[in-house]
Amino acid sequence: MLKIGITGKIGSGKSTICRMFETIGIPVYYSDTEAKKFYSDQTIIDQLCKIFGKGILDIEKNIDKKALAAIVFNNEDKLEQLNRLIHPLVLNDFDNWCKDKESYPYVLFESAIIYQCNLDHLFSKIIYVDCPEEIAIKRVMRRDNATHQAVLDRLSKQSSCIPPYNFIITSDEENMEIPQVLKIHAQITHQIH
């Protein structure tokens, strides 16, 4: 079983593409979704409070993700500390998740920050989901109920250059995604056999 990374900027359409892979029977590990589960673990909450202070807790003593995001968004050191704590947990969880997936030809690990966190070496191949910036901005504004400027700020934190990849999927309003997904699926499974 191959481990394949799927990445792209926010709003590029990664989740939609991942659901297409799931439709054809390929398991997808959504790293952001899985990472969020650790924020309700009391040990992690305690460690996060040590690093970022009690101000990141809401009234119920749970992690206030907006408060935490506000701290790390403009502070590279704090973001690095957060990543050092959460990423090993996510990668360990991914390894455990993979254990019962041996019967599949490959699995996907979905994450926008595969390259920023130097995780690309963990994968046999990388699929990059590309999308024109204006379309990505509209998608994120709709999805997150965010302002144009807020989305631009988030995009500015992501590298503007396209990283090295083995496969690319263009997710815009002109190219159909399903044929691209099926073509990549065929190429990956062909390489395995």
Torsion of CA 100, 101, 104, 105, to 10 degrees: -130
Q: What is the pLDDT of residue 193?
A: 66
Domains annotated on the chain, with CATH: 1-27+106-193 (3.40.50.300), 35-103 (3.40.50.300)
Beta carbons of 34 and 94 less than 8 angstroms apart: yes
Beta carbons of 4 and 126 less than 8 angstroms apart: yes
139 Cβ contact list (under 8 Å, min separation 6): 11, 13, 131
Mean pLDDT of the 110-127 span? 92
Torsion of CA 119, 89, 19, 159, to 10 degrees: -40
* Separation CA 147–CA 149 (nearest Å): 5
* Each residue's pLDDT tens digit, 143-178: 888 888 888 888 877 766 778 899 999 999 899 999
What value does the mean pLDDT of the chain take?
92
Q: What is the pLDDT of residue 149?
A: 87
* Each residue's pLDDT tens digit, 84-95: 999 999 999 999
Confidence bin at 69 (pLDDT 50/70/90): confident
| Number of helical H runs and strand E runs in the chain | 8, 5
Confidence bin at 99 (pLDDT 50/70/90): very high
* Each residue's pLDDT tens digit, 30-41: 999 999 999 999
Beta carbons of 45 and 85 less than 8 angstroms apart: no
